[in-house]
Amino acid sequence: MSKTYLMKSRTDHQGLSALFPNELSELISQEPSFRGRQLFTWFSSGTFKFDEMKNLPAALRRSLIDRYGETACTSKVVKQQTDADGTVKLLIKLHDGLFVESVLLIDEEGRKTACISSQIGCAMGCTFCRTAELGLERNLTASEIVEQFYHLSEIAGQPSHIVFMGMGEPLANIYETARSIEIFHFSEGLNISARRITLSTCGIPDGIRFLAESLSVPIRLAVSLTSADNDLRTRLMPINSRAPLPELHEALLHYQNIRKKRITLEYVLLGGVNDSDAACRQLVQFARDLECVVNVIPWNPGAGLPYNEPSKNSTERFCSCVEHAGLRVTRRYRRGRGISGACGQLAGTGSSLHHIHPVTKLNEQI
């Protein structure tokens, strides 16, 4: 992986939502240190307007407003859409006028999962993903990542789970992503369990090793594999030309040896491309010495992309083939397709949001 990806997260360019209590205390060093903890508690509760922080002295609130404006939040929701299955997609405007999309998924049991973006666009170039068509505009700061969670919480209620599966490659923005994970997990704040946070990557070996060796929070790892044929994977996912399957496999073994955690291999099923019995056998061979679960994801159409959805029979046959080989298989059920909020459909421009209504609470839309 290019070392230019490994840029340290800087507190001097963060919004306040990605700072820890001691860092907030340093910003208002003229105040007692406990004021930083109070600020952090307000942010963790989803309150960002300084005037609403009534346990802060009026003079401090005025000082914060003079310095940062009415709110500590650096982004705002400008459009919202809700699918019939309960999925919520937000278009979020950032301080520089750029946009990012985030999604809240609700499963059959009512569990809410925040699908978070880590970049504006993506440089990885996966040929079956709409986000890849945008190219990479820039990395998100940790505060811009964290604020997505709070925006989703404000509209739809606080999610219990987080997946880094939105726009961008999290491991190509590794230090900002890592800081956001630490904020999500921090016991004095949201205190989200590590087992409820999943990071999905296209497979950057240096980033995977960083997760294994350096990240303080033992989150779940998911890898978008899509093909275990080296040539085909290179055509589908250009990252494979820089980090081919043997190198990826080695990094996954290293991660597993250190973390002792099961890995999810995500397999986007493309009709007539990677859904054959031979493709299944290659997948089984790749996963033979990994403690893993295979998550089969029937491809979600994107305008202009040159692929076909797999048939129901093809999907069932592929899943059965993998399962009969002794691997655990799960199937990703399609949620959010009606609002282009499913896997691989985020575009970040708002062009996919056809029937927009004003931003309201989720329970006001049902």
Question: Which residues are annotated as catalytic?
Answer: 101, 343
Q: What angle, rounded to 10 degrees, do the helices at 174-185 and 205-213 form?
A: 30
Quote the strand ranges of 181-252, DSSP E.
197-201, 220-224
Closest CA to 202 of 228, 225, 178, 230: 225
Q: Looking at 83-118, which runs of residues are DSSP E strands?
A: 88-93, 99-106, 112-115
Distances (CA, A) of 139 to 59, 191, 346: 35, 25, 16
Rg of the chain in Å (alpha carbons): 21
| Other Cβ atoms within 10 Å of 216 Cβ, number | 9
Nearest to 270 by CA among 239, 233, 300, 245: 300
Best CA proximity match to 9, nearest among 144, 122, 131, 121: 144
CA distance linking residue 125 with residue 128, whole number of Å: 9
Q: Looking up tokens 């692929």, which residue turns up?
A: 307
